[in-house]
Each structure stands twice: as C-alpha cells, then as structure tokens.
Amino acid sequence: MGGQWVHLRLCLTCGHVGCCDSSPAKHATAHFHSVGHPLVQSFEPGEDWVWCYADEALLRVPGLPEHSHS
C-alpha cells in the first residue's frame, strides 16, 4: 500500500502477519476485528511478548520462538 512497516505481529491462531498500530494501515488490529483471532506475538527479533486484543493485555512469555521476516 506504499506505507512503511513499523513492527510486525504474528497471529497465533492462523499465522497472519500484519503491521502494528504505529503503522498507517494497522493490519494486525484490522485482522482481529475482521476474524476475531485475539492473540498476536511480536514478530520482532528479541521480543518475547504476546498481546491479547480481547483482554487488552500484554503477556510476557520467556522463551517464545523467534520468527524471521527477512
């Protein structure tokens, strides 16, 4: 869409990867609103957290597998 990705989020239900709310299109949040999948993991190297849209809660999960988006 011509914008710049700021940070990527991975849907833990289906594997959809979308940009965060700091990006113009906010694809990760839009995915939650359209399909209802509540949990996303940060797709950024070194980040070990999950966000729950349904509960608006940040979950720290040490040892989460890192994902590569290169």
**What confidence tens digit (pLDDT) does each residue in 44-69 have?**
888 889 999 999 999 988 777 766 55
Question: What pLDDT score was predicted for residue 56?
Answer: 96
Cα gap 8→52, rounded to integer Å: 15
7-21 confidence digits (pLDDT tens): 999 999 999 999 999
- Identity at 52, one-letter amino acid code: C
Domains defined along the chain, listed by start: 8-60 (3.30.40.10)
Given pLDDT bands bounded at 50, 70 and 90, which one contains residue 43?
Answer: confident
With beta carbons less than 8 A apart as the criterion, state whether 12 and 40 touch. yes
> What gap in Å lies between CA 30 and CA 34, rounded to an integer?
6
Q: How far out from the chain centre does Cα 65 lie?
A: 14
Cβ atoms 37, 11 nearer than 8 A: yes
User: Using the 8-state DSSP alphabet, how is residue 28 labeled?
Assistant: H
pTM for the whole thing?
A: 0.82
